Amino acid sequence: MIDLDVRFQVRKEKMTEIGFERFLSPFSLELTKVADIRKLPPFSVVSSSDVELLREAAKSRNAVLLYNKGFQADVGLIRDLVGKKKAFEIPVAPLLESSGIARATLMTRMRFFIKQCVHLRAPIVITSQARDSFGLKSPHELIAIGEALGLTHEQAEWAISETPEMILHAAD
């Protein structure tokens, strides 16, 4: 089990105790213009609400995880990632930070985006995107959240084990 996006300094023992074999804190950048993509270091997480910027980032060798902040189910963008050693990031942090109808709306958008990704066979990775220890989630919890977002148990498990493994293997 691998958490590919932990955004604070955490001890390895803590992550092992929670149930993760590996975790990473990669460079993350919110894209504002196309020029940002050229400056990316290897193994970066890029985020944007702009589909065109994300499509450009999908062409970059250094951007391995794409976080579609608006969860727009753009078929062109999703197709761009099919067969590549990259994945869409599905973070849990935005769900933790929202509540009530805002969380419900966010979950609806996430569910539809994930449904399209599964249909088009685009890889997805569930991450905690934790900024403190309270934001960290165990593999069981990530799987349960994945199931709440419309994945089967096996697909959710795949999204925190095999897909991250494939991305790490490709990056080595």
Partner 1 sequence: MPPIKPTMREKKRYVLFALESEAPLNEETVKRGTYAALISFLGEYGASLASPKFIGYRASDNLGVLRCDHEEVEKVKAALALCRTIDGKKVAFRLKKVSGTILSLNSGFEKEKE
Which residues lie near partner 1 (CB under 8 A)? 18, 92, 95-97, 99-100, 103, 132-138, 140-145, 147-148, 153
Q: Which is nearer to partner 1, 134 or 172 (CB)?
A: 134
Contacts of 36 (CB under 8 A, 6+ apart): 29
Q: Which is nearer to partner 1, 2 or 143 (CB)?
A: 143
| Tokens describing residue 65 | 């995880």
Q: Which is nearer to partner 1, 35 or 101 (CB)?
A: 101
The dihedral through the CA atoms of 19, 22, 28, 34 has a sign that is negative
The distance from CA 104 to its chain's CA centroid, rounded to whole angstroms, is 19
Taking the complex as a whole, the smallest distance from the CB of residue 108 to partner 1 amounts, in Å, to 14
Taking the complex as a whole, the smallest distance from the CB of residue 165 to partner 1 amounts, in Å, to 23
Taking the complex as a whole, the smallest distance from the CB of residue 111 to partner 1 amounts, in Å, to 13
Q: Which is nearer to partner 1, 26 or 135 (CB)?
A: 135
Taking the complex as a whole, the smallest distance from the CB of residue 130 to partner 1 amounts, in Å, to 10
CB atoms within 10 A of CB 24: 17
- d(C-alpha 90, C-alpha 125), whole Å: 6
Instruction: Indicate the helix (H) or strand (E) that contains 87.
Output: strand 87-91
- d(C-alpha 145, C-alpha 106), whole Å: 13
